[in-house]
Structure 1
Amino acid sequence: MDDDKTIERDRRGIQSVEVGGQLLLALAHHGRAMPLKDLAREAGMSPAKAHPYLVSFGKLGLIEQDSASGHYGLGPLALQLGLISLQQADPVRIATPLIADLAQRLGHTVGIAVWGTRGPTFVRLEESPAAVHVNMRHGTVVSITDTASGRLFAAYRPAAEVRALLEDERRREKLERARPAPGMPAAPPLPTWKEFERQLADVRAHGMSRSEGSVIEGVSAMSAPVFDHTGAMVMAVTAIGPSGTFDTRWDGAIARALRECADHVSQRIGGRKPVAP
């Protein structure tokens, strides 16, 4: 009985703080300064009730009032807290427990890739019980041209940077063709920059990327992007599995699950989708 009372006491908050917090939530939701009557209405209270909260929040720097319009907006302390929160937000740390659950639900391997010094690099891999064993481990760098994760990053990275990587891949391809491995079939030629641009436009149109047996025969993959507060892509959430059981439809179960996971991480780090050119 005493334990129950202790738990209840720990859970009990300060109601006035929670009530006043609705004003902050309303400002955050609308993303702009608001007149008192509108702000109070959105917070579910009268202007007379809202005003004392706004005065106190103003003294703390959480809210400030525009001297010309009289509208209320978020103050300098709110901005500082937001910036500190963004600095502390680690998308890989947030996504790691999510991909474990995702791999179990989908029945496919799920990984996290970030942009490294040599291109898209896998930093986390979570295998499903029915995992497809491919030559991939933590630290694996993948191609930007024929992998789902690689094309996804290429679609959202600066064009000059992506083009330079493409030219590097094309140079390596020429060397490999000049010294073919005995008994190995020749790989299909890499796209030109113009051809690759069309592929990347298709990735951006769907908001995610997929590959169907292009890297390893019989293995498919889909990848969804995570964006930060500037609209830059910081991470890819990628599912990999046998083509026979892997749903690569843009509106299929795997695509929906990957988007949901990536969007959740983006939201946690204050991310926003980039503005289309």
Structure 2
Amino acid sequence: MKRESRGIQSIEVGGELLRALARSGEPMMLRDLAREAGMAPAKAHPYLVSFSRLGLIEQDETTGRYEIGALALELGLISLRRLSAVRIATPKIAALAGHINHAVSLAIWGSNGPTVVQIEEPSRPVHIAMRVGSVMALLETATGRAFAAFMPQKTISAALDNGIDRYGVGYNPKRAPKAPKVAEMLGEVRKHGIARALGDPLPGVNAFAAPVFDHAGHVALVITAMGPEATFDAHWDGDLANALRDCAGDISKRLGHGTVRAAE
């Protein structure tokens, strides 16, 4: 019988606060966080102070709410990069960025929606409102539309019903497309196999996004190419769009996927 290793009970107790924060997915007040972790606020507070010093959590100075900190995010991203799909895709998007001379990003479906886990810059970087860890709006960005078009629609509908899109980069409630427009937009994405955004949500910046599928036909990640409209070939069948399709298709094959298709 395997002997159980001795641990440190106080760390395990404090870890319940981190678990509660992860389950929530949103910033929480001390009293709510403590309640979800099954402890009194007075007991929870010293743990939160220590976690803050380590960078595992951080507290908003204005609202007083606690959220996941920089160190926790970094650890999570390291874990994501070790996933086979991201490891296989990373050198591919580096080569693609050099070939098309535009920025290329990798995004996965995270707990808060489309989440950027890797960015490859071209020789002349374009300044965009995106960084590793950014959550992209589901219907207002090329990255989000690629997920929305090819993931199971019940997953996307549930995400939108739960307000998962509300805080994504590019989200603007005044520009949120209506249901008929969404159906038409996603139909166009499926038709071409890639999503396109022209100067929206970032004026002067165009983007194409292509899904990568795993052996089971599920969307493993999305590759997005973006650049200034003056030098970005935005034609559906242009060299840039085809290079992106080829890259996504090559990675899909490496993951055991035969043909790229929309999820049922």
2:218 maps to what in 1?
A: 232
Corresponding residue of 1:246 = 232
Unaligned stretches of 5+ residues in structure 2: 1-81
Q: Once the 2 structures are TM-superposed, how far is the Cα of residue 169 of structure 1 from its aligned partner?
A: 5.1
Equivalent residue for 1:104? 98
Distance 2:182 2:146 in 1: 12
**Equivalences, count:** 178
Q: Cα 1:92–1:171, aligned 2, differ >3 Å: closer, same or farther?
A: closer
Hey, what's the Cα distance between the residues in 2 that align with 1:217 and 1:146?
13
Q: Are residue 164 (structure 1) and residue 180 (structure 2) matched?
A: no
257, 261, 264: which one aligns with 1:274: 261
Partners of 1:213 and 1:219 within 8 A in 2:
yes
1:129 maps to which of 111, 123, 134: 123
Note if 1:258 corresponds to 2:244: yes
Could you say which structure has the larger radius of gyration? Answer: 1
Show CA shifts across 1:55-89 (max 9, x none).
xxxxxxxxxxxxxxxxxxxxxxxxxxxxxxxxx98
What's the offset of the Cα at 1:167? 4.0
C-alpha RMSD over aligned residues = 2.3
Aligned-partner residue type, residue 208 of structure 2: M
Corresponding position of 1:73 = none
Q: Deviations over 1:80-123 (max 9, x none)?
A: xxxxxxxx981110110111121111111011111111111110
> In the alignment, residue 113 of structure 1 is paired with which amino acid?
A
**Offset at residue 276 of structure 1 (A):** 7.2
Percent identity over the alignment? 43
CA contact (8 A) 2:216 2:257 kept: yes
Aligned to 2:37: none
Q: Deviations over 1:120-142 (max 9, x none)?
A: 11100000111111121111110
Secondary structure in 2 aligned to 1:160? helix
Q: Which residue of 1 aligns with 2:185?
A: 199
TM-fit CA distance, 1:171: 8.9
TM-score relative to the length of structure 1: 0.59
Q: Unpaired runs of 5+ in structure 1? A: 1-87, 174-185
Choose which of 202, 216, 219 in structure 1 pairs with 2:202. Answer: 216
Q: Rate the CA distance shift 1:101–1:199 in 2: closer, same or farther, 3 A.
A: same
| Residues 1:276 and 1:118: Cα distance change in structure 2 (over 3 Å) | closer
- Checking the alignment, whether the CA contact within 8 Å between 1:163 and 1:193 is kept in structure 2 is no
Closer, same or farther: CA 223–130 of 1 in aligned 2, 3 Å: same
1:205 and 1:171 map into 2 onto residues whose CA distance is 24
Equivalents in 2 of 1:148, 1:171: separation in Å? 14
- TM superposition shift of 1:160: 2.2
Any residues of structure 2 matched to 1:12-23 within 5 Å, and which? none
Per-residue CA deviations over 1:195-233 (Å, capped at 9, x if unaligned) read 212211111111111100111100010011111111111
